[in-house]
Amino acid sequence: MLVTVDSRERVRAPLSRQQVLAGAVRYVDEHRLDALSMHKLGATLGVKAMSLYRHVASKDDLLDGIVERLWSEIPIDPPDGDWRQGIRHLAGALRDLVHRHPHAAPLLNSRQTIQERPLRICDALLRIMRDGGVPEQCAVALLRTIFVYGIGYALAELSIPAQPNRDAEDEVTRIRRVTNLLTPQASDNLVRTALLVCDSCDMTAQFDIGLDLMIRGLDAYLDSVSVDAAATQN
Amino acid sequence: MLVTVDSRERVRAPLSRQQVLAGAVRYVDEHRLDALSMHKLGATLGVKAMSLYRHVASKDDLLDGIVERLWSEIPIDPPDGDWRQGIRHLAGALRDLVHRHPHAAPLLNSRQTIQERPLRICDALLRIMRDGGVPEQCAVALLRTIFVYGIGYALAELSIPAQPNRDAEDEVTRIRRVTNLLTPQASDNLVRTALLVCDSCDMTAQFDIGLDLMIRGLDAYLDSVSVDAAATQN
DNA sequence: AGAGTAAGTTTACGATATAAGCTGTCAAGT
DNA sequence: ACTTGACAGCTTATATCGTAAACTTACTCT
């Protein structure tokens, strides 16, 4: 018996590479990265494992595609404002990205390919900094730092096991939770350091302090250069 | 027939957890991270896969153990000197570590556990910074930045495929190599940015510039605070 | 009507992590 | 001297993994 195709259902809308990648990101977000397999990903897309190879060359290609999707969530052009605002915005966007995809984020640093998206983002910010009178060498150095900081800081935050309701947590449970992460014979002092470094109550404020450090550093450099210039001019 | 144990050979010196982990690090260094399997690791240690489970609880445990070994290569106590030197030393040590273990290094950022070693390192440096008059909040912020910068910067360097003899490379091959990393329709401008961001000829000098930015930032902050203090005192 | 093509399927193979149970060796205690 | 128990490694078995090769549809174009 021939099953005629019903026009209101076709057969099924065919998958696309982007759909596969989107499915993969969703899957990794929900389960962990190591749980991602072609078989299971196919299942969530209503398709057998091998069908995915129509849209993806290999699992490696799939992972690269995930990274590409992640980068695409960062806007290329920073909002209006001077380079300081642009830098702050980028750093925040990177941190948010990692928070949005905690399980997929490690891929950002570990795939050994250069993605075009981050280069475009660099390009846009470099232009703004050049217009703001920042020497190129410094601009590049700051930019590199920001990328690494935004992503790395957020990844480090994730090392701390998620807490149901951190805000309502009292001092005792907070200390005990951190203590549990260490070997039992850790000194009190080490626990104090752990609390300080890994569990500041307001990680966002801490993030901004670090960010300020770098921007302030560049500002200080610019000042010293302009003072030098003025001095040699006299 | 009973095979009596020959005293000059015993049976074999039994494996230890540390030997297994050392073997794992070596294996990952030589082959890549995804090539590591219990079977193949066992083979290099002259043992069957299942025997490894005497010394590690699971493959996850093995990976955590690798991370632990990596951290143990960073000295806890910085050399004598003020906090600026301590910070510089730590950043350099982190970058060197990643360079020494390019294939294993991504694990440093992706395992969601807190390692005691880095906490001890923080502890030592925090003490030095406190003695140097740095307020604790800033010290923590800088420290976090340094960890992330040292590791992240080096990881980013690794995205650029290793070059046989970079020094002897002329301009044309350098540009073409970077161009090949991008989509063919990339604009000239983007290639320029890529060269700037990903392929500075002296990555070490660039690293130091970024580092200076942060230290300078903290110095500038300290200055502004002491000026404020002097002002309110007047 | 027939050929071509794109999407998905079936089957299959070798490699993977690891559970369960087994063997042989050593050291301490009787 | 003989037993016992713990320890280190081995064997076997299972479910899952990535992916190669060949096949089945169903749609499109001539």
Distance, CA of A98 to C1' of C15, in Å: 33
Report pLDDT for B6: 40
Considering CB atoms only, which of B106, B119, B219 is closest to A197? B119
Minimal C-alpha gap between A34 and chain B (Å): 11
Report pLDDT for B77: 93
At A97-118, the pLDDT tens digits run: 999 999 999 999 989 888 999 9
Report pLDDT for B7: 38
Report pLDDT for B176: 87
Are B141 and A210 a contacting pair at CB < 8 A?
Answer: yes
Q: Considering only residues A8 and A71, tell me which one the structure prediction assigns the higher pLDDT.
A: A71
Distance, CA of B176 to C1' of C6, in Å: 36
pLDDT bucket at A2, cuts 50 / 70 / 90 = very low
Report pLDDT for A115: 92
Are A216 and B212 a contacting pair at CB < 8 A?
Answer: no
Q: Is the pLDDT of residue B173 over 70?
A: yes
Nearest residue in A to B102, CA atom: A110
Looking up tokens 């897309």 gives: A45
**What are A91-94's contacts with CB under 8 Å, separation 24+?**
A91/A146, A91/A149, A91/A150, A91/A207, A91/A211, A92/A150, A93/A150, A94/A146, A94/A147, A94/A150, A94/A151, A94/A154
In chain A, pLDDT over 90 holds for what percent of residues? 67
Are B144 and A136 a contacting pair at CB < 8 A?
Answer: no
Report pLDDT for B171: 83
Q: Is the pLDDT of residue A6 over 90?
A: no
Computed over every residue of chain B, the mean pLDDT equals 89
Considering CB atoms only, which of B122, B186, B193 is closest to A197? B122
When mean pLDDT is compared over B40-44, B166-170, B177-181, the highest value belongs to: B40-44
Q: Is the pLDDT of residue B225 over 90?
A: no
pTM of the model: 0.91
Strand D nucleotides with an atom less than 7 Å from a protein beta carbon: 7-12, 16-22, 26-27
Minimal C-alpha gap between B196 and chain A (Å): 7
Region B131-147 average pLDDT: 95
Report pLDDT for A11: 56
Minimal C-alpha gap between B53 and chain A (Å): 20
pLDDT bucket at A14, cuts 50 / 70 / 90 = confident
